[in-house]
Amino acid sequence: MLVLDTTILIDALHRKEPALRKIVELEETQETMCTTQVNALELYKGAYLPTKSRRDIQKVKKILDAFVVLPIKDDTYEVFAALSAELKSRGESINDFDCLIAAITMTNGASIVSNDSHFKRIPGLAVISY
């Protein structure tokens, strides 16, 4: 299972070639491609910025319809807390949304597809860059 992070989804919405190539490559693996409720929130937040239009909101809805959207499950709470605490103790904290995305990814036994390098600091999280 693969979780597409907000970075690759935004790049795909903007038709950036590296993101589109990576998605096509990943489709060929026949792995289930997902995103998370948190990524959906981030996409909608961007679509509702004053500089955006109704068309941007429709594009977000359309891209989210193409993927399974993983929810926050009960076991995600403790994984999130443990990751946050460990990163903080090492002086390597990341924002809570990204830590939660990582926790959802890990509790689903998935890898994350992202260009955000801070995901590589999370122990046990498989990261696929593009």
Query: Are the beta carbons of 5 and 112 closer than 8 angstroms?
Result: yes
pLDDT at residue 51 is higher than 90 = no
Confidence grade of residue 8 (pLDDT, cut at 50, 70, 90): very high
pLDDT mean over 93-120: 96
Return the closest-CA partner of residue 119 out of 109, 105, 107, 108. Answer: 105
Domain count of the chain? 1
pTM of the model: 0.91
pLDDT mean over 65-88: 96
Return the closest-CA partner of residue 104 out of 50, 34, 24, 52. Answer: 34
| Domain range for 114 | 2-128
Six-digit token pair at 46? 């961007």
For residue 34, the model assigns a pLDDT of 98
- The enclosing domain of 25 has a CATH number of 3.40.50.1010
pLDDT mean over 73-83: 97
For residue 52, the model assigns a pLDDT of 76
Confidence grade of residue 49 (pLDDT, cut at 50, 70, 90): confident
Return the closest-CA partner of residue 39 out of 102, 109, 115, 94. Answer: 102
